[in-house]
Amino acid sequence: MIYLHIPFCKQKCSYCNFHFSTSFRGKDDMLQALKKELRLRKDELENKTLKSLYFGGGTPSVLTGDEIKGLFDEILKYYSFADDIEITLETNPDDLDAAFVKELASTPVNRLSVGTQSFFDEDLKLMNRAHNASEADASIKRAQDFGFENISIDLIYGSPTSSLVMWKENLNRAVALEVPHISSYALTVEPKTALENWVRTQKITAPAEEEQNEEFYYMCDFLKNNGFEHYEISNFAKPGFHSRHNAAYWQYEPYLGIGPSAHSYDGGSRRSWNIANNALYVKNLEAARLPAESEILKEKDRFNELLMIGLRTVWGVDMKKLNDSFNPEIVHRFSLDVESKINEGILRVKDNRLVIPEEHWFMADGIASDLFII
């Protein structure tokens, strides 16, 4: 599978610490550099038939239809697409006007991830999103009118501008739109963001954990009652609409990450990541150099990652895989900790898989890190 990072956004959302630029001046050079990286790394993936292709960012929907088609042309020089390939493009509601959606519908993109976040203007203003509440709604309907069925929307809960009543309404609106996939995250105060600055200078109050907790569990019940499977802490899908791209990450399949800040994984113990700087990325590619660093994961790092990722999902961690793939001493130490957590009811073994019961999912990262091998 391939991930393509499009590092441009119209404006900076107040909570975001991803890599992107709000200046589009270098867009053409960036597109050339992305194509060059695809060419230089064309032999890295053994499997030349792609099951998943993901345009993420940044905001890939700031590209024109022709620019997206140009990237497809380059990709198709080196790979073919599996019949059931999932091709996702992240979009923002303000970009999804009729002309752009029509263009998109003429490309191989077959899944849209829409950065809706909220259907309330007060939330969107605090988040400094480029769209308003009416665009949030209209953009999804428009995409559906042009034939996109496989749509995921992102929603953020726990904003200081929101309340449980508003959150319930957000979920009602999402369900009424009949989208088959929802990704939902708690508003988090990340370092070096406007949100952090506002909290520090007491311009706003920090998101309250108790409220986030309440909204999270309300969402779990509500979406389950509306036909969604809660398959990962932050992800809910109607049957047959799990994100295959994310599922492949969680199952440790190899992937190629193209673009500034993109990460790659060889399926074994090597990870690499590109430089998170647009100008330097382009400059290096112009000189046919790959601006990447890499690391070889130690056994304990692989073990801890497997726990961290697996315990966030409904599939949990495969105990047989742990026993078969890791040093028995590591597995033994881990088993002792697991036993006490099972006695506390925080962990459960189901079909030889270690899972966190859903009622403890809000604390999953803490539970997994308690089990880390250090």
Find the shortest distance in angstroms from Cβ 94 to ligand SF4.
10
Residues 227, 238: contact at Cβ < 8 Å? yes
Find the shortest distance in angstroms from Cβ 5 to ligand SF4.
10
Q: Name the residues that contact ligand SF4, by CB under 6 A.
A: 9, 12-13, 16, 18, 20, 57-59, 92, 115
DSSP secondary structure letter of residue 212: H
Find the shortest distance in angstroms from Cβ 53 to ligand SF4.
19
By C-beta, is 5 or 360 nearer to ligand SF4? 5
By C-beta, is 12 or 102 nearer to ligand SF4? 12
Tokens for 185, please give them. 């995250």
- Alpha-carbon Rg of the chain, whole angstroms? 21
By C-beta, is 15 or 361 nearer to ligand SF4? 15
By C-beta, is 13 or 307 nearer to ligand SF4? 13
H helical segments located in 146-225:
164-176, 194-200, 209-225
Q: Which residue type, as a one-letter code, is found at position 71?
A: L
Find the shortest distance in angstroms from Cβ 64 to ligand SF4.
17
Find the shortest distance in angstroms from Cβ 9 to ligand SF4.
3
Find the shortest distance in angstroms from Cβ 148 to ligand SF4.
19
CA distance linking residue 205 with residue 198, whole number of Å: 8
Angle between helix axes 278-286 and 27-40 (nearest 10 degrees) is 50
By C-beta, is 156 or 322 nearer to ligand SF4? 156
Taking the mean position of all CA atoms in its chain, how far away is CA 285?
A: 26
By C-beta, is 138 or 194 nearer to ligand SF4? 194
Q: Where are the beta strands (DSSP E) in the chain?
A: 2-6, 49-57, 80-91, 111-117, 151-157, 181-186, 229-232, 235-237, 256-258, 263-265, 270-274, 292-296, 317-318, 348-350, 353-355
CA-closest candidate to residue 199, choices 159, 164, 163: 159
